[in-house]
Homo-oligomer: A and B are copies of this chain.
Amino acid sequence: MVPSEPTVILRLQIHFMVTANQQLIETLGVHLEGEYNLPPLAARIYAILILTDEDGLTFEDCLEKRGASKSSTSTSLNLLLNMGIITYFTKPGDRRRYFSIAKQKTFFLAKLQENLKRVEKEKAIITLVLDYHKKSSPKKFKEGQERTHIYLDYMNKNEALLTESIEKLKKILD
């Protein structure tokens, strides 16, 4: 039996939306894997939580939307909880937990703060190496000075930018 035309179109549309969504979950998932050093499954679940319209997803929702095992879903959700990048809430008369991303407050703020830490760490390392070269081979040190200066200059400006943005963000969150 051939379905009537409107049905076909509707099916195609739904299929398109579903696969487009899956695609986005995948894209975002890969990104998050790298960004937060998450295992594949945890990253996909995080992506699902970021993208959903619902106000919070249950354990089972997560499980079904990804098609993973109970144990892996449990492990992944707990990992995300421990990292503080998701939270859950409960509804009265409902034993289940509803998981959702920790308010974007935390999301972007954490990102900026993390970034700041990275910059500071790198500055520290560069200083360490520079000191070492200054002592052990002044010639080599002199050579690279100008380039190094540009790089350090960028790092400092970026650091200032970060501190400033963090302040701004904190202010609107009070």
A28 adjacent to B165 (CB under 8 Å): no
Q: How many copies does the complex hold?
A: 2
Contact of A125 among B31, B53, B154, B157 (CB under 8 A): B31
Decide yes or no whether A147 CB sits under 8 A from chain B: yes
CB distance from A13 to the nearest CB of B (A): 14
Decide yes or no whether A78 CB sits under 8 A from chain B: no
CB distance from A110 to the nearest CB of B (A): 11
Whether A148 touches B24, Cβ cut-off 8 Å, given contacts A51-B129, A53-B136, is no
Could you tell me the distance between the alpha carbons of A172 and B168 in the complex, rounded to whole angstroms?
Answer: 36
Could you tell me the distance between the alpha carbons of A97 and B28 in the complex, rounded to whole angstroms?
Answer: 44
Contact of A108 among B31, B147, B158, B165 (CB under 8 A): B147
CB distance from A11 to the nearest CB of B (A): 20
B125 adjacent to A27 (CB under 8 Å): yes
Contact of A24 among B104, B132, B150 (CB under 8 A): B132
Query: Contacts of A161 on B, CB cut-off 8 Å?
Result: 154, 157-158, 161
Which residue of chain B has its CB nearest to the CB of A24?
Answer: B132
CB distance from A142 to the nearest CB of B (A): 12
Query: Contacts of A172 on B, CB cut-off 8 Å?
Result: 146-147, 150
B148 adjacent to A165 (CB under 8 Å): no
Decide yes or no whether A169 CB sits under 8 A from chain B: yes
Decide yes or no whether A137 CB sits under 8 A from chain B: yes
Decide yes or no whether A41 CB sits under 8 A from chain B: no
Contact of A154 among B31, B136, B157, B162 (CB under 8 A): B162
